[in-house]
Structure 1
Amino acid sequence: MTSDQLITRDVVTAYFTDLQDRICLALENADGYGTFREDSWERPGGGGGRSRTMANGAVIEKGGVGFSAVHGEATEATLRTLNLTTPAEFFATGVSIVLHPNSPMVPIIHMNVRYFEMSTGQCWFGGGIDLTPHYVVDQDSVWFHQYLKTICDQNDQTYYPTFKNWADDYFFIPHRQETRGVGGIFFDYLKPTDEAHKASLFGFVQAVGNAFAPIYTHFMNQNRALPFGEREKQWQLLRRGRYVEFNLVWDRGTKFGLETNGRTESILMSMPPQANWIYDFRTEAGSQEERTLSLLRKGVDWVR
């Protein structure tokens, strides 16, 4: 992309399709066994996408790397969200990823980068990346947040503190009063003021997207061989249950997909292969499980 190239929907879409390709290749290489299967689909109202899923890999038990570019008439719910009172068309494209590992010592990870346009002339970027370890390890959380802070600071030094706090608020399970994991960054409705600003925002979104593969392959390689037992596996299933609760009850992306008649299988590919709920479960005093719960809260300053 040249510096004077306009950032059109086609330019953004081309980047997202390439990003999906590169991430899938990096994950397959790091896993060493699992491969992605692809389902190409069309949305009845307009557009479509490519859903790529991996199952029963050496590290990744279930993973989804989805690309979509959809368009059509905006729903009433979407119009209300945007404070629009007249009918309008929308265009939305992005890449969305959730990976559930076999080992409870390897964290769950999520990333989404996206671009929206409305026929009213509005457009904006959004996205985020967050880490959900089954067991919170301080040095891993620090490494992850420092990586994201470096990316943010290279674009705008206000980004990390703003988007980190936004992630704490967004990836929060109100009915549990706990965060989904150790957070990360979240941003939405980044609206360009002119073409130069649009190029800058797109550059930031690209930096976030390009960071995904090196971040997660780091955790795959570092943690895949760590020992664990049945206790850790049972805890993993409980933490996956929390993941399901957030995605089905609170996640805006899930709601948007369902409201716009998206492909259900693609929308729900973020669900873990198995999860568990135990009535009134209590952690043991002094356990690693208790310590993990104590750190699933807003406002933890991981970058010291």
Structure 2
Amino acid sequence: MLESNEIIDRFKKVQDYICNALEQLDGKSKFHEDNWNREEGGGGRTRVLTDGNIIEKGGVNFSAVHGPVSTVMNKQLGLDGNEFLATGVSIVIHPHNPFHPIMHMNVRYFEMDTGEYWFGGGIDMTPHYIDFQLAKRFHLDLKKVCDQYHPDFYLKFKKWADDYFFIPHRNETRGVGGIFYDKLTEKDGVSKTQLLDFAIDLGELFPKVYADQINENRTPEFSNENIEWRNLRRGRYVEFNLVNDRGTKFGLKTGGRIESILMSLPKDASWFYDFKPKKDSLEEKTLHGLRKEVDYIRNT
């Protein structure tokens, strides 16, 4: 039987794997580790890399926390039971170059003392400028991993990502999507062990798909105008995380560790009043591409 200690241990190893791979990709900076403990039970390892060759700010967090279910948690999740365990790995990478994408990943596991459990997670990409061929490569890799576990996973989880990573007040997606899933159990047609293997495979896929985006052109030329656009798109990223992201809001409402929760935010971001891109510019084309239900695999 799959034990929670095994899940925690494998998530720790995934954090190590990703950090080592990203340090090699960046070629300059190393992750700084901040170990922390949670008073109610458990703790984590927050790792942040800054001012690298490629990565301006990147975080790879591991946590495994447990304890009594608070009133706020019960209200948020509608749980039966008194004690919980939650563990996972979350990543956000913000690059220097406007022609390199932001990428996010999260894999997580939650269980109650009643025996109820579920897995959640996914990977999504937010280019400052959409390159449809690179988006296609990204989605093909996600589909390949999904297809190893269930023939319906990719299309189901892609739609879930399109709907989740959407900014309603802007009527635009955060980026080119990816896959997103939540509260998966063996009732979804995959065993608990396979669901853990799926999460681990996604974790190990992350540095590969990010390297593919970077190594297509490690040093594309850019202008101050491109930097301004990058910071504007980062502003949209901040809006989504603080206004729409359920995980961020849940962490803030339930007394989570603030530095780890807000690790996902970029070093610099901007908001311009009533910004209008130039006609037929790369910025305008990117805005037109920020929509749901784009079939990146077949239509590019």
Q: Using the alignment, how far apart are the partners of 2:70 and 2:274 within structure 1?
A: 39
Structure 1 residue 207 corresponds to structure 2 residue 201: yes
Provide the secondary structure at the position in 1 that maps to 2:186: coil
Q: Please tell me whether the aligned partners of residues 149 and 190 of structure 2 are also in contact (alpha carbons under 8 angstroms).
A: no
Instruction: Return the offset for 1:66.
Output: 0.3
Instruction: Return the offset for 1:120.
Output: 2.2
Query: Who is 2:69 aligned against?
Result: 74
Structure 1 residue 288 corresponds to structure 2 residue 282: yes
Provide the secondary structure at the position in 2 that maps to 1:40: strand
Query: Who is 2:44 aligned against?
Result: 49
Provide the secondary structure at the position in 2 that maps to 1:280: coil
Query: How many residues are matched?
Result: 298
Structure 1 residue 136 corresponds to structure 2 residue 130: yes
Structure 1 residue 226 corresponds to structure 2 residue 220: yes
Q: Please tell me whether the aligned partners of residues 128 and 186 of structure 1 are also in contact (alpha carbons under 8 angstroms).
A: yes
Instruction: Return the offset for 1:257.
Output: 1.8
Query: Who is 2:117 aligned against?
Result: 123
Instruction: Return the offset for 1:78.
Output: 3.0
Provide the secondary structure at the position in 2 that maps to 1:248: helix
Instruction: Return the offset for 1:218.
Output: 1.7
Instruction: Return the offset for 1:220.
Output: 2.2
Q: Using the alignment, how far apart are the partners of 2:53 and 2:267 within structure 1?
A: 15
TM-score (norm 1): 0.95
Query: Who is 2:168 aligned against?
Result: 174
Provide the secondary structure at the position in 2 that maps to 1:7: coil
Structure 1 residue 156 corresponds to structure 2 residue 146: no
Identity %: 55
Provide the secondary structure at the position in 1 that maps to 2:292: coil
Q: Using the alignment, how far apart are the partners of 1:146 and 1:76 within structure 2?
A: 42
Provide the secondary structure at the position in 2 that maps to 1:187: strand
Of 188, 192, 196, which residue of structure 2 is paired with 1:198? 192
Counterpart of 1:187, as a letter, is Y
Q: Please tell me whether the aligned partners of residues 81 and 113 of structure 2 are also in contact (alpha carbons under 8 angstroms).
A: no
Query: Who is 1:3 aligned against?
Result: none
After TM superposition, list the pairs within 5 Å mapping 1:25-44 onto structure 2: 25-44=20-39
Instruction: Return the offset for 1:180.
Output: 0.4
Moved more, 68-77 or 43-52: 68-77
Q: Please tell me whether the aligned partners of residues 163 and 187 of structure 1 are also in contact (alpha carbons under 8 angstroms).
A: yes
Q: Is there any run of 5+ residues in structure 1 with no aligned partner, and where?
A: 1-5
Output the aligned Cα RMSD: 1.5
Task: Give the direction of change, closer, same or farther, for the CA distance of 1:235–1:227 in structure 2 (3 Å limit).
Answer: same
Query: Who is 1:9 aligned against?
Result: 4
Instruction: Return the offset for 1:114.
Output: 0.3
CA-to-partner distance for each residue in 1:226-259, whole Å, 9 max, x for gaps?
1111111100000000000001111111122223
Q: Using the alignment, how far apart are the partners of 1:254 and 1:82 within structure 2?
A: 14
Instruction: Return the offset for 1:193.
Output: 4.5
Query: Who is 1:259 aligned against?
Result: 253
Task: Give the direction of change, closer, same or farther, for the CA distance of 1:65–1:45 in structure 2 (3 Å limit).
Answer: same
Of 14, 17, 23, which residue of structure 2 is paired with 1:19? 14
Q: Is there any run of 5+ residues in structure 2 with no aligned partner, and where?
A: none
Query: Who is 1:98 aligned against?
Result: 92
Counterpart of 2:22, as a letter, is L
Structure 1 residue 237 corresponds to structure 2 residue 238: no
Instruction: Return the offset for 1:74.
Output: 2.2
Q: Using the alignment, how far apart are the partners of 2:71 and 2:297 within structure 1?
A: 41
CA-to-partner distance for each residue in 1:68-94, whole Å, 9 max, x for gaps?
00112223343234433x662211000
Q: Please tell me whether the aligned partners of residues 186 and 192 of structure 2 are also in contact (alpha carbons under 8 angstroms).
A: yes
Counterpart of 1:279, as a letter, is Y
Counterpart of 1:277, as a letter, is W
Counterpart of 1:10, as a letter, is N
CA-to-partner distance for each residue in 1:136-178, whole Å, 9 max, x for gaps?
0010000000110111111111000000000000001111110
Q: Using the alignment, how far apart are the partners of 2:74 and 2:116 within structure 1?
A: 12
Counterpart of 1:237, as a letter, is N
